[in-house]
Structure 1
Amino acid sequence: MTSANIETARTYFQAVRTGDMAALGELLDEAIVWHQPGANQFSGEHMGRGAVFQMLGSMMETSQGTFAIDAIHTLMANGDLVTATIHFSGRRGDVSMSMSGVDVLRIENGKITEMWLFSEDPATEDAFWG
């Protein structure tokens, strides 16, 4: 199951990187719980696929379409959890961010049921998102 979960995570990140919302919708469980870090307008728990899509859409709008996961460095699995070390960035006017992060995905039956995100520089990310 570990290799299947790694493949699900790999497919998720590919969908995010290419903006494939249909594939993303297939991968996110309808009742997903998304834990967004920090103290900004997007921080907190987002419950359900619709709430997650709304948050992601607002992030793209706020970042003027520039928010992106630039690289996925390593995917590691332990049972139903997959950890990904990533790099992400965005620009909004003259404000930008570029940093490493860790995403932890809980995957059950090929669906992402829970997601935790960690940022290298939470203060910079909070300032970026406002």
Structure 2
Amino acid sequence: MSAIDVVGQYGAAMAAGDMAALAATFSPDAVWHQPGANQVSGDHIGPDAILAHLGTFMELSGGTFALETDSATESGDLVSATVRFRAQRPGQPDLDQHGVDVFRITDGRIAEVWLISEDQAAEDRFWGSV
């Protein structure tokens, strides 16, 4: 299976809300690097921590967080995907940004994820501090 196929499985599981299938796309020691200076920033290690992290987006946004993948490109074990993500929170302007997610695939699973937002400062304000 190619690296881009693995990311496709991740995207399909995410869209379907299939947490078991989503967890299966990550290697046991996968690292999700969440950028910024806000309450969701930092590294999240392992499928359980990553799924809990993704759940935090839903919790903080009252279930409004949505992620769409526009396109993806692979180069060896790396895949970059252009994305659009949206969410709403009371007292905050709506979050609606584009970005790039970069995945490193090892042995048919996601080993690492880096996220790049078009306006990290606005995203930091949206998610807020602890």
Matched, 1:79 2:76: yes
1:105 match: 103
Q: What secondary structure sits across from 1:65 in the alignment?
A: coil
1:88 match: 85
1:41 match: 39
1:23 match: 21
**What are the Cα deviations for residues 75-112 of structure 1, in whole angstroms up to 9, with x where unaligned?**
11111100000111001124210000100001112110
- In structure 2, give the amino acid aligned to 1:120: E
What is the TM-score when the length of structure 1 is the normalising length?
0.92
Gaps of 5+ in 2: none
CA distance in structure 2 between the aligned counterparts of 1:45 and 1:11, rounded to whole angstroms: 22
- In structure 1, give the amino acid aligned to 2:30: I
Report how many aligned residue pairs link the two structures.
127
2:9 match: 11
Gaps of 5+ in 1: none
Q: What secondary structure sits across from 2:43 in the alignment?
A: strand
CA distance in structure 2 between the aligned counterparts of 1:55 and 1:72, rounded to whole angstroms: 19
What is the identity percentage for the equivalent residue pairs of Structure 1 and Structure 2? 48
- In structure 1, give the amino acid aligned to 2:99: G
Contact 2:69–2:83 (CA under 8 A) maintained in structure 1: yes
CA distance in structure 1 between the aligned counterparts of 2:62 and 2:32, rounded to whole angstroms: 22
RMSD of aligned residue pairs (Cα, Å): 1.2
Once superposed, which parts of structure 1, at least 4 consecutive aligned residues long, lie more than 6 Å away? Answer: none
Q: Displacement of 1:17 after TM fit?
A: 2.1
CA distance in structure 1 between the aligned counterparts of 2:46 and 2:10, rounded to whole angstroms: 16
